[in-house]
Chain A
Amino acid sequence: MTTGRALGLLVCTACRATLRAAGATPCLCPRCGARVHPRKPNSLATTASLLASAALLYIPANLLPVMHMQTFFDVEDDTILSGVLTLIQEGEWPLALLVFIASIVVPLLKILAMTWLLLSVHRGWRGSIRARSRLFRLVEYVGRWSMLDVFAISLLVSLVQISSLATVQVGVGALAFGAVVVLTMLAAQSFDERLLWDADDRG
């Protein structure tokens, strides 16, 4: 098992060309012109700070209402969880499960998994690297699905803003929730997977 690092080779993060490290890094990719670093610079610190901000905002994102709905009969403040409960009451089980997973489980899973991955790199753990890299790819892939509820809310609001029967307004929780999605996506993008394997390659 020989690594690119041992051979003095780099991979371009933009076009994935393999190139020879010429003198000082970062160097420029001969194929697409991107700046190529041996590892993403300050990966751990950047990921950790983005993740900490996301974890903090996860609390208001779940506690504050994401939507206010006012009809003739009642006024309703919906948090993400109460939106899921409403769907269950209406008998829309599959959809309730979908929203629950996309909006509540995925962001939480993402924050916990990324924290564990950061910790494992920081401590230089060598066990179960393949499983950890799989976990990272899962987290990276599912993260975008958390936007589901934001899209649903934006459509609801634009349709029923002010009509004769109901008024729907966005709640401040949506702001926190959107921030959680963006921050966790940025955290996954700034994490350098190769750090997981470096612990093993140091021998």
Chain B
Amino acid sequence: MASVIVCHACDLAHGRDPVLPAARVRCVRCGAEMYRTNGASIDSAIALSLSAAVLLLLSNVYPMVTLELGGSFRATTLLGAALALYGQGYVPVAALVLLTSLLAPLFEIGALLYMLIPLRRRERAPGQNEVFRALSRIRPWAMSEVFMLGALVALVKLAALAHVIPGVSLFSYGALMLVLSALTSIAPGEQFWRWVEGRHL
């Protein structure tokens, strides 16, 4: 079965090349990236996931932006953005913001740690496949990079009204965005299954 690989985007069948440690394989007909491996170690993926977890924690603890308006200060946090929408009765929009800015990245980090830590010890996490499938469904809804740009737009708009002070959370969330994109490029796809198969699980 491993001798043929079918493109997920156009259904063209390709003879599979010898398995390379690091490769980015594109479909010859439609140009879709069929898979990518980079030989990254499972340890580096775990390290990145742990850094992402710490950064997400920092982003929630510290204020994102503080506003100085006529001598009084107002701060908001990552969660505060969603809560404000909830407080004004826009529950669906609040849920969308909560999911895309906080819950989806949180699930991404948690799911990777849940699967990778046992895998490192040559064990299979209970329900590994269910978690993997949930992750592949939830990943498109993690939008930390869009949120960052949205925060930038909000800062510029507010700067016209009042004095704005960027908070720790803004920087930690920016770093989280970078770590998550590094993580996405190594951990979840073909490379993950290489780790699984390499441990004969």
A interface vs B, CB < 8 Å? 1-7, 9-11, 13-20, 31-34, 86-87, 90, 92, 95, 98-99, 130, 133-134, 137, 144-145, 147-161, 163-166, 169-170, 174-175, 178-179, 181-182, 185, 189, 193-194, 196-198, 201
Chain A binding site: helix, strand, loop or mixed by DSSP?
helix
**Contact present for B132 and A197 (CB under 8 Å):** no
B contacts, CB < 8 Å to A: 1, 4-13, 29-32, 34-35, 64-65, 67, 69-70, 72, 74-76, 80-85, 87-88, 90, 92-94, 96-97, 100-101, 129-130, 132-133, 136-137, 140, 143, 146-147, 149-154, 156-158, 160-162, 189-190, 193
Q: Are A165 and B69 in contact (CB under 8 A)?
A: yes
In the complex, are the beta carbons of A155 and B133 less than 8 A apart? no
Closest residue of chain A to B189, judged by CB?
A16
Q: Is the CB of A15 within 8 A of B136?
A: yes
Contacts of B11 in A (CB 8 A): 3-5, 11, 194, 197-198, 201
In contact, B70 and A164 (Cβ under 8 angstroms): yes
Of all chain B residues, which has the CB nearest A33? B129
Once the chains are docked, how many angstroms separate the CA of A197 from the CA of B29? 10
What are 13 A-B contacts defined by CB distance under 8 Å? A1-B29, A4-B11, A16-B34, A32-B129, A33-B129, A137-B32, A150-B150, A155-B76, A155-B150, A160-B158, A169-B88, A170-B90, A181-B96
Inside 8 A of A165's CB, which chain B residues have their CB?
A: 69-70, 161-162
